[in-house]
Structure 1
Amino acid sequence: MSSILTNNGAMVALQTLQTVNKNLGTTQSEISTGRKVANAKDNSAVWAISKQMESDVQGFKSIQESLALGESTVSVARNASETITDLLTEIKGKIVASQEENVDRSKIQTDIAALRDQIGSVVGAAQFNGLNLLSNKSNEAGSGSVNILSSLDRSGSTVKSSDINVGKQDLGTEAAVLGATAVGAANDLLSVSGASAAAAGGNVTVSFTAGGAQAGASYSVSLTGVGGQEIGTSATTFSYVARDGDTEADVSNAIFAKMTAFATENELADTAFTRNATTGAITVTNNDATAANTITVARAETLDGTAEGGLAALSDVDVTSQDGANSALSNIESLIQTSINAAASFGSAQGRIETQKDFISKLSDSLTTGIGALVDANLEEASARLQALQVQQQLATQSLSIANQAPQSILSLFR
């Protein structure tokens, strides 16, 4: 049955043309934007995933900048540490030269002083953007290290940051400054047993243990010996100010090192300093059996001190005498080892930062590739589809034109 009111052929052709035009519009949008998922309407699940990944990529770009800044800062500290090691090696050469009896030790001492001043200049200049990793004297907790943002760790919808911790390595030559604020009660920082003892021709032992290590805490022990005791009738003081990160063992080791250096420098034969590796207790023993001996201990416990530089002992190097030259030769090795350890620590940290920076770069590229696989359009496919749809559009238009002309045939029935 033919009808001039209802043209089924035209309706079918119109629907086909509308579908072709819709597909053509979608294809043209893919070609113009380069994406098959340009908004949440196109594919909400894929769009949500891609946006989350894009935010991570943006975060990793900021992390790369943080790692680049951290790498530069650590690199400055490492180069400075290596330079200081070279300067200390030069000083060692001067000290070795001073062992000769027919040399001008005063001129050698002048050269050593100049090299020492140069080390101070290197330490002062070894900063990047105001941060100096070769200075660690603050009393504030956490000041002994810096955290460099290194990663974003995602677990589902939760994200947390990760850091690379780089410890400071103090290579300054400044002496410690003891604090003035007294502790709450005696024995807060130092516990002393046998504060004074006497014996006729026997051994005398004094032990003390550091406790409650904290940044800025001042530990000071003065020993006085009478009779045959070699430490002398005047007080000999061994002090240390803790820096951030120090443990009780660090305090004990530092004081013990000062004592052993004193024993070496003064060639003590009858006085022995020993340290218990387990408890950290330092024991002073007198083995002079020729007279009654007494060792007295005075202690000072204060807070808010300023820690000494890691190379503070360099200020005590004096080769103008034979004894001084001998002592300097013994002490310089530990100073060189301190700077070597600092350079090695910074080198290790810099290597880790470089590795992390390379990884973050590759990870960012992988995420970007993944995002592209989810939302980017296949332009070769889209181009071929565009050509096909344009042909379909033309055919659908022609079909609609033919369908619209169908009622014209009914006119012939009325002639």
Structure 2
Amino acid sequence: MPQDSLAYALKQASTLVAGVLEGGNLTDGYEAMLSANPSWPDATRGAVRDLTWSTLREFGRGDAVLRHYLHKPLPTYLHALLLVALYRLEQRPAQSHTLVDQAVEAAAAEVPALKGVINGVLRNVLRETMKLEGWRDADIEARYACPRWWIERVRYDHPADWEAILQAGNLHPPMSLRVNARRASGEDVSAALEKAGIPARKLENGAILLAHPVPVQRLPGFAEGLVSVQDAGAQWAAQWLGAVDGERVLDACAAPGGKSAHLLERADIDLTALELDPTRAARVRTNLDRLGLAARIKVADCRRLNTWWDGEPFDRILADVPCSASGVVRRHPDIKWLRRNEDIPRFAAQQAEILDALWQTLAPGGTMLYVTCSVFDEENRRQIDAFLARHPDAETHAIDASDSRSLPPTADHDGFYYARLRKLR
């Protein structure tokens, strides 16, 4: 099977989707596949990624159709292949007959005895195309491409704009750049992008939003550390923490290092970057090295103070805590398949432990910025309300006249929540 064929891309994408359906992490699976296929041309890499990520963003849409044709479970790979093929059919109906032939070839490569099932289902789909949208509209998970519990949480937490949040979470993610203020100006980077034929515009917080994503190799100044790729919503963190020269600062959950780097680009601070996972901690070091920045990097659980804290309090703490990642689901669409409603209280409990531990290391008068990439209130506003109730020495420090800032996902940025806290004594 040629590597540049649609059948090959379908086969590889279906393998990745099947891994997610069986509980695996998409990023890990994709990186392992790339490592096993170092000779893939860019076109193959791009085709596999697009088919995989887009199929997973379309949570529930394929299953809403397959329920009408499958009367008993298929092997996971074949089920995944049908999901990928249905996505491709919806996007490129003019190529439907070619798609069916290539999907059958992809099935034959793995489960030849059942290739006829794939052929039969897809040809039935082509004959009954007019019914498909009705089946999808009748299924709420297919309509919003999210699990039912997810839809209900967002609707409850955001009654005024829940549909817009769900729809934004299914878009292709934007690509934004952060300028390394120690090495370049926004004007210089914008001019270099224009010269390179990469259309972009500057956002309110200085982030540069590209009109279309491009490989980092095409970005002028990337190799030299002039720019980094970082979502525009994430670029508020360093600004709202507000660290200034000479302060002792902690980034408590630092990997992959984008926010640590931004803090160091903005001020001459004494930064400690904590990360629980050694491999992810190494990525922090790699990113800082590319940008010519330095920090004290430690591998530790931020909740276990005796393993990393020297007893000297911090002036400012960035607590970008582990969360459901429901605000960045378009970048990590496997989350919609893997998360369960009962996971959210577990994240909230972990976040509370982190906040309570880190609060002990903050100096009186110091500032902590709490950050999640979640759209669920249990991890956001309700988390902060509970923290304030537990800690009479804490108060909110307004961000733009608001106690906190919720940034729902839009075409310009991912979804984030920010709350700034001040320690009174």
TM-score normalised to the size of structure 1? 0.24
Task: Name which one, 1 or 2, has greater alpha-carbon Rg.
Answer: 1
Higher strand content, 1 or 2 = 1
Under a length normalisation based on structure 2, what TM-score does the superposition of the two structures give? 0.24
The structure, 1 or 2, with the larger RCO (C-alpha pairs under 8 Å, 6+ apart) is 1
